């Protein structure tokens, strides 16, 4: 791995390591080492360098929200009275556990959020009682996701 002008360049071994871990983050280091043809210690060293470079942002388990009863995914465009209200609005949005993502955007909305709710009633409650009551929010526009058809990371 090389860092050139703030850009990280990874070699073939790094790519093989990353692909294996992206496919299954629980793949044993020794299994990766055998498939790549280097020692387990070399894999550990490369992983430490990749983490230190900022390319790897950690690992996590992914919860299947459907098994907990969360079946309604929605994207909500939030219109603010003034752009200056953004910081306060985001602070309030952080307090709502159903808000999974929050993006400052160009275009009509000031903020775009991704919300996960148990059902449409729950979504309506979150919109009416939580989001639309935030100071500075003038209105919202909601799009319910019928089915997530793609979920992936950048290809290595």
The two most distant CA atoms of the chain are separated, in Å, by 59
Task: Say how far apart CA 78 and CA 126 lie, in whole Å.
Answer: 13
The C-alpha atoms of residue 132 and residue 155 are separated, in whole angstroms, by 38
pLDDT digits (tens, 9 = 90+) for 54-101: 999 888 888 999 999 999 999 999 999 999 999 999 999 999 999 999
* Rounded-to-integer distance, Cα 119 and Cα 70, Å: 7
CATH of the domain at 127: 3.30.70.920
Which domain does 19 fall in, by range?
Answer: 2-53
- Please name the helix (run of DSSP H) or strand (run of DSSP E) that holds residue 99, with its range, or none: strand 99-104
Query: In whole numbers, what is the pLDDT of the chain averaged over residues?
Result: 93
The pLDDT confidence band at residue 2, using thresholds 50, 70 and 90, is: low
**CATH for 29:** 1.10.10.10
Let me know whether 137 and 72 are in one domain.
Answer: yes
- Distance between CA atoms of 132 and 137, rounded to whole angstroms? 6
For residues 44 and 75, state if they share a domain: no
Within a domain: residue 156?
no
Element (H, E) at 44: helix 40-53
Joined tokens for residue 104: 């400052």
């Amino acid at each position: 791995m090389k860092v050139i002008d703030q850009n990280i360049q990874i070699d073939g071994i790094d790519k093989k390591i990353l692909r294996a871990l992206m496919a299954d983050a629980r793949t044993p280091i020794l299994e990766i080492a055998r498939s790549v043809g280097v020692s387990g210690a070399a894999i550990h060293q490369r992983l430490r360098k990749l983490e230190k470079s900022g390319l790897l942002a950690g690992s996590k388990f992914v919860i299947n929200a459907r098994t907990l009863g969360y079946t309604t995914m929605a994207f909500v465009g939030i219109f603010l009275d003034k752009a200056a209200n953004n910081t306060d609005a985001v602070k309030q949005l952080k307090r709502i556990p159903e808000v999974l993502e929050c993006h400052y955007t160009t275009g009509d909305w000031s903020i775009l959020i991704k919300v996960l709710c148990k059902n449409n009633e729950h979504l309506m409650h979150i919109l009416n009682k939580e989001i639309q009551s935030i100071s500075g929010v003038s209105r919202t526009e909601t799009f319910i996701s019928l089915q997530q058809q793609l979920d992936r990371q950048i290809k290595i």
